[in-house]
């Protein structure tokens, strides 16, 4: 139990701890002596000797020169004396062999450092063995090391090219994003794409092979320029869109004001035309974001609806008032239908004239019934006139030739006026109805005169 724990226990005394005996030290085990190849050791031992004074000599290859590499106690045997220095030689030989084996897998810098270290060790080594042979093996590694340097250099150049290509692809992708048409750019997705490309650049900078500073600066300048261009286009796009939104809003606010100004008008025909023109202007005014556009449309539509609902209520009241006229005109139509097919021209003309006088005296009918009343009556009148014309052609060709041109012109004018009267009534323009009816009466009088009625 720790001292801090004892202090926190106010009323209870800490129990007496039982001392733990210290662990017994483990016996030291001598490091294993590496096994020595007897044949290799015997071959190396041939290059040395031990004199009577315990000096260990190394013989050089190719000559009889010798040098002392160490001493050994006289109590030991010559074999023991040589064995120590032979093992040292074999250790050096193992280092050379290991470097030869690793040559293709280590860096040129490590190769050079290893060769330099071995060369230094072999300068005056305190060993017994064929030192000259080791020196030649180490010297021969220089050629292999140079090949390795060239290989590594080529590999590094290829890796550098790949790294440049990788960075270039990132830059070109960023430039492609920046080169998009602002009108068709999905800004949120494009901005996320640029952010992802920036992360790719940072990752390549940390983990890909390094490229020369000039190339990296040029590529980064292009990448940074693409991001700047994208941001500028984005700002310009939203600034322009905001300006357009304000212009569209101003135009639609003006249209709403005009619509609200005439929403309570009871001049049904002209006001209906004004609302149609306002609607055309609204369509040409442009669109902005849906929420704001819908809010403006709701106000404009409310003004329209107020007018049209009042007009519809008025027309419904008028139509109800004219319902009795419709029923009376339908009775006259049934009477006029009996004149068809025309067999007695004079009788039919006299009857349709009398029916027409009563028809005009009745007055207007509901708009929904105009076609089946006014339209049908015109059809009957037309059939009677056609029958009369056909009779004239058969009985008096010369008279027909004299009056046909003027009669046709007058009839064309009458048909046009009847159509205009129906349209003016539908629009609720009573002033135009009166004007067209006066003109129609005059044309009908002229036509009767031409036809000899």
pLDDT single digits (tens) 69-78 = 888 765 656 6
Domain boundary among 311, 328, 346: 311
Residues 388 and 400 in one domain: no
- 184 lies in a domain? yes
Which residue reads 């609806």 in tokens? 305
Residues 284 and 298 in one domain: yes
- 48 lies in a domain? yes
Judge whether 81 and 125 are in contact, CB under 8 Å: no
Residues 6 or more apart whose CB falls under 8 angstroms from that of 412 comprise none
- 8 lies in a domain? no
Residues 118 and 189 in one domain: no
Judge whether 37 and 89 are in contact, CB under 8 Å: no
> Which three-class secondary structure state does DSSP give residue 66?
strand
The strand pairing partners of 48, in sequence order, are 58
Domain boundary among 354, 378, 395: 395
Residues 197 and 248 in one domain: no
Residues 257 and 218 in one domain: no
Residues 84 and 121 in one domain: yes
- Domain of 172 in residue numbering reads as 161-242
Furthest CA-CA distance within the chain: 173
27: confidence class by pLDDT, cuts 50, 70, 90: very low
65: confidence class by pLDDT, cuts 50, 70, 90: confident
Residues 99 and 52 in one domain: yes
- 340 lies in a domain? yes
pLDDT in tens, 76-126: 566 777 888 899 999 999 999 999 888 888 888 888 889 889 989 888 898
Residues 423 and 439 in one domain: yes
Judge whether 339 and 351 are in contact, CB under 8 Å: yes
Burial class for 13, CB neighbours closer than 10 Å (0-12, 13-18, 19+): exposed
Mean pLDDT of 431-446: 81
Residues 6 or more apart whose CB falls under 8 angstroms from that of 124 comprise 67
**pLDDT higher for 407 or 229?**
229
Residues 42 and 119 in one domain: yes
Residues 6 or more apart whose CB falls under 8 angstroms from that of 76 comprise 54
Closest Cα to residue 306, out of 256, 367, 270? 256
Structure tokens at 395: 């009985």
Residues 404 and 330 in one domain: no
Phi and psi for 15 in degrees, rounded to 5? -65, 155
- 136 lies in a domain? no
**How many domains does one find in the chain?**
5
What is the separation of C-alpha 95 from the centre of its chain, rounded to a whole number of angstroms? 62
Domain boundary among 375, 395, 415: 395
- 203 lies in a domain? yes
The strand pairing partners of 71, in sequence order, are 55
The overall average pLDDT reported for the chain is: 81
Residues 180 and 192 in one domain: yes
- 154 lies in a domain? no
- 207 lies in a domain? yes
Residues 276 and 291 in one domain: yes
Least-confidence region, from 135-139, 162-166, 183-187, 390-394: 390-394
pLDDT confidence of residue 257: 94
């Amino acid at each position: 139990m720790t001292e801090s724990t004892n202090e926190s226990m106010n009323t209870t005394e800490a129990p007496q701890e039982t001392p733990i005996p210290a662990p017994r030290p483990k016996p030291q085990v001598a490091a294993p002596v590496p096994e020595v190849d007897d044949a290799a050791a015997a071959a190396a031992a041939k290059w040395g000797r031990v004199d009577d004074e315990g000096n260990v000599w190394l013989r050089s290859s190719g000559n009889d020169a010798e040098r002392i590499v160490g001493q050994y106690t006289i109590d030991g045997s010559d074999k023991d004396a040589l064995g120590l220095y032979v093992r040292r030689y074999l250790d050096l030989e193992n280092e050379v062999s290991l470097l030869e084996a690793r040559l293709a897998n280590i860096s040129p810098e490590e190769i050079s450092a290893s060769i330099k270290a071995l060369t230094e060790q072999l300068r005056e080594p305190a060993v017994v063995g064929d030192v000259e042979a080791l020196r030649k093996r180490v010297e021969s590694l220089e050629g292999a090391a140079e090949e390795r340097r060239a290989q590594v250099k080529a590999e590094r150049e290829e890796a550098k090219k790949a790294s440049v290509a990788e960075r270039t692809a990132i830059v070109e992708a960023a430039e492609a994003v920046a080169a998009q048409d602002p009108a068709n750019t999905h800004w949120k997705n494009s901005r996320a794409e640029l952010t992802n490309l920036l992360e790719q650049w940072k990752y390549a900078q940390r983990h890909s092979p390094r490229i020369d500073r000039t190339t990296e600066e040029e590529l980064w300048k292009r990448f940074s320029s693409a991001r700047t261009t994208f941001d500028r286009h984005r700002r310009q796009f939203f600034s322009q869109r905001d300006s357009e939104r304000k212009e569209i809003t101003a135009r639609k606010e003006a249209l709403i004001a005009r619509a609200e100004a005439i929403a309570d008008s009871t001049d049904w025909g002209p006001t209906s035309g004004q609302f149609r023109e306002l609607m055309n202007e609204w369509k040409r005014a442009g669109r902005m974001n849906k929420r704001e556009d819908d809010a403006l449309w709701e106000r404009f539509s409310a003004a329209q609806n107020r007018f049209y609902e009042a007009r519809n209520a008025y027309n419904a009241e008028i139509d109800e008032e004219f319902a009795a006229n419709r029923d009376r005109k339908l009775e006259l139509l049934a009477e006029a239908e009996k004149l068809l097919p025309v067999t007695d021209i004079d009788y039919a003309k006299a009857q349709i004239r009398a029916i027409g006088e009563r028809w005009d005296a009745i007055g207007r009918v509901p708009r929904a019934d105009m076609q089946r009343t006014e339209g049908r009556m015109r059809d009957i009148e037309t059939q009677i006139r056609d029958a009369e014309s056909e009779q004239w052609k058969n009985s008096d060709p010369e008279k027909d030739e004299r009056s046909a041109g003027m009669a046709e012109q007058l009839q064309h004018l009458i048909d046009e006026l009847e159509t205009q009267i129906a349209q003016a009534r539908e629009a609720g323009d009573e002033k135009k109805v009166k004007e067209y009816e006066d003109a129609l009466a005059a044309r009908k009088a002229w036509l009767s005169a031409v036809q000899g009625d």
